[in-house]
């Protein structure tokens, strides 16, 4: 495909994406396919001859679209959002066009320097400690693939700074911690993972954490890391990171904060009470690719001190040597992550932050919080509905008063509507419905439509 053809097909595809943005609200959120339906439309063997791009674009409608779950529908209330936005999509396009590798400063200086500055901007935007800024130190932040990767990496750092054999190490998180805590610890080789008990709000109980640590120490094990969640996946619970931090310090644990989803809410100063104590944590991760309008993948990981991360990862091959790195005057981002290669993800994040501005981010996230608050009130006032857990940020957790079967039926009815999609899950062994508000284009109109369906089926 030469540049002239790229121009022609690129314009056609931009129109396709713009059309998709215009019509996604009217598409059924989930596709009507059975396992194997999409695969059956694909040849078993790769094509021998080149195919015209027109045929490929046609198959975007004929093969791909029938199998798409529309995460970008404004009726997306399932899981958490995985938002795109115009500037985010275009930033990804520019990054793809430039095709640079950001493994070293020298392999594309703009890739590193823009990333470091934009990640420092997020420290301001989220009200995080100044010492998280690379320009201030001794900490720093970088873009990673996902919160799972960041959480795993922090377990590796905690293992590396401990002198004990991995099979004696213990990792802690609440029973409501994201599965990446368990997986991160497992992949990092930890011998033990403790799912610490939670209180009535599903937040980690510091007393239970302290007791678990003491029991493990008495058993000859080595507590190494605790992950606090600011906004659990299940119900949005907020672990008390101040109290957990004090315990972590007393026992020498690494304290990692997983604010993958709710970190975005911190653009609103009044929400920062939920991360009180963040000044003393060792690491903090959140996903602009969830609720901050920046296409996946774009996770940010900060460490309060960059030395232990460097020590856990660093080594240098001859082919990587270059004057800039050896001068010590630059940051090489391959020393901040497990993989070597990295694409120019800061571009889309920079474009989103500039396109929205801090004011725009506060407005949009604030609107989602307001809509969640209104929905929560409607649930409170409805005679057949209950809160399965307190509303947290923009996540409303509801169930039917008649029990699990009625709740499951209600969830199925909502999802059968086509216009709205929620996640049916369980908490404390009871069914509930998660309504996560936060897709880029969700407005009052879409929450009203969801509510009408809830009312009709409750």
92-131: contacts with a second copy (CB under 8 A) = 92-94, 96-101, 105-111, 113-114, 116-117, 120-122, 124-125
Span 347-406, contacts to a second copy by CB under 8 A? 347, 351, 353-360
Using the contact rule CB under 8 A, the part of the chain among 1-9, 220-228, 278-286, 367-375 near a second copy is 1-9
Nearer to a second copy, 33 or 401 (CB): 33
Under rule CB under 8 A, residue 89 binds a second copy: yes
Using the contact rule CB under 8 A, the part of the chain among 30-38, 198-206, 246-254, 398-406 near a second copy is 30-38
Closest CA to 423 of 49, 41, 79: 79
CB of 47 to a second copy, least distance (A): 5
Position among 141, 178, 221, 395 found at the interface with a second copy (CB under 8 A): 178
Using the contact rule CB under 8 A, the part of the chain among 48-56, 215-223, 272-280, 300-308 near a second copy is 48-56
Span 192-231, contacts to a second copy by CB under 8 A? none
Nearer to a second copy, 2 or 200 (CB): 2
Q: Which residues are CB-neighbours of 14 under 8 A, at least 6 positions away?
A: none
Using the contact rule CB under 8 A, the part of the chain among 87-95, 223-231, 245-253, 448-456 near a second copy is 87-95
Under rule CB under 8 A, residue 72 binds a second copy: yes
Span 281-320, contacts to a second copy by CB under 8 A? 289, 295-297, 312-313, 315-320
Closest CA to 353 of 275, 422, 292: 292
Q: Tokens at residue 180, please?
A: 């990446």
Q: What is 137-176 written as a DSSP string?
A: -S-EEEEES-HHHHHHHHHHHHHHHS-S-GGGEEEEEETT
Nearer to a second copy, 189 or 373 (CB): 189
Nearer to a second copy, 246 or 424 (CB): 424
The alpha-helical segments, DSSP class H, found in 24-108 are 53-59, 86-98
Under rule CB under 8 A, residue 412 binds a second copy: no
Helix, strand, coil % (nearest 5) of the chain? Answer: 50, 15, 35
Nearer to a second copy, 60 or 401 (CB): 60
CB of 77 to a second copy, least distance (A): 13
Give how far Cα 393 sits from Cα of 149, 156, 311, 437, Å. Answer: 24, 31, 37, 9
Distance CA 421, CA 410 (A): 12
Span 336-355, contacts to a second copy by CB under 8 A? 338-341, 343, 347, 351, 353-355
Under rule CB under 8 A, residue 137 binds a second copy: no
Using the contact rule CB under 8 A, the part of the chain among 75-83, 218-226, 301-309, 444-452 near a second copy is 75-83
Element (H, E) at 323: helix 323-327
User: Using an 8 Å Cβ cutoff, are 289 and 83 in contact?
Assistant: yes
Under rule CB under 8 A, residue 18 binds a second copy: yes
Neighbours of 169 (CB within 10 A): 24
Nearer to a second copy, 63 or 406 (CB): 63
CB of 213 to a second copy, least distance (A): 22
Distance CA 409, CA 423 (A): 12
Distance CA 264, CA 271 (A): 10
Closest CA to 75 of 35, 108, 28, 33: 28
Cα of 75 vs its chain's centroid, Å? 19
């Amino acid at each position: 495909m030469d540049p002239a053809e790229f121009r022609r097909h690129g314009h056609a595809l931009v129109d396709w994406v713009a059309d998709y943005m215009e019509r996604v609200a009217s598409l059924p959120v989930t596709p009507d396919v059975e396992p194997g339906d999409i695969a059956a439309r694909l040849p078993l063997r790769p094509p021998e001859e080149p195919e015209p791009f027109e045929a490929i674009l046609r198959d975007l409608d004929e093969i791909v679209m029938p199998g798409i779950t529309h995460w970008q529908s404004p009726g997306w209330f399932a899981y958490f959002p995985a938002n795109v936005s115009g500037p985010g999509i275009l930033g990804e396009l520019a990054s793809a066009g430039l095709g640079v590798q950001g493994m070293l400063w020298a392999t594309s200086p703009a890739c590193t320097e823009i990333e470091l500055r934009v990640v420092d901007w997020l420290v301001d935007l989220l009200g995080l400690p100044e010492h998280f800024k690379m320009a201030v130190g001794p900490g720093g932040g970088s873009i990673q693939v996902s919160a799972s990767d960041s959480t795993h990496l922090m377990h590796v750092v905690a293992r590396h700074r401990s002198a004990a054999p991995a099979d004696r190490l213990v990792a802690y998180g609440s029973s409501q911690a994201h599965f990446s805590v368990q997986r991160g610890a497992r992949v990092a080789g930890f011998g033990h993972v403790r799912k610490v008990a939670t209180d009535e709000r599903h937040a980690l109980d510091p007393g239970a954490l302290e007791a678990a640590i003491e029991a493990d120490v008495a058993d000859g094990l080595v507590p190494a890391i605790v992950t606090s969640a600011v906004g659990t996946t299940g119900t949005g619970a907020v672990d008390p990171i101040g109290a957990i931090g004090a315990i972590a310090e007393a026992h020498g644990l690494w304290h990692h904060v997983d604010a993958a989803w709710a970190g975005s809410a911190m653009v609103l100063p009044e929400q920062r009470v939920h991360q009180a104590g963040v000044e003393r944590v060792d690491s903090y991760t959140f996903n602009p690719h969830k609720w901050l309008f920046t296409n996946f993948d774009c996770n940010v990981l900060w460490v309060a001190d960059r030395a232990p991360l460097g020590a856990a990862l660093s080594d240098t091959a001859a082919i990587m040597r270059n004057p800039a790195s050896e001068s010590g005057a630059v940051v090489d981002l391959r020393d901040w992550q497990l993989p070597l290669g990295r694409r120019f993800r800061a571009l889309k994040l920079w474009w989103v932050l500039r396109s929205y501005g801090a004011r725009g981010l506060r407005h949009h996230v604030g609107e989602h919080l307001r809509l969640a608050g209104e929905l929560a009130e409607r649930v409170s006032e409805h005679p057949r509905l209950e809160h399965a857990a307190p509303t947290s940020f923009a996540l409303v957790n509801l169930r039917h008063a008649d029990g699990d079967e009625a709740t499951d039926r209600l969830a199925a009815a909502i999802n059968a509507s086509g216009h709205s999609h929620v996640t049916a899950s369980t908490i404390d062994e009871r069914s509930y419905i998660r309504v996560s508000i936060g897709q880029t284009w969700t407005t009052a109109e879409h929450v009203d439509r969801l509510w009408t369906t809830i009312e009709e089926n409750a």
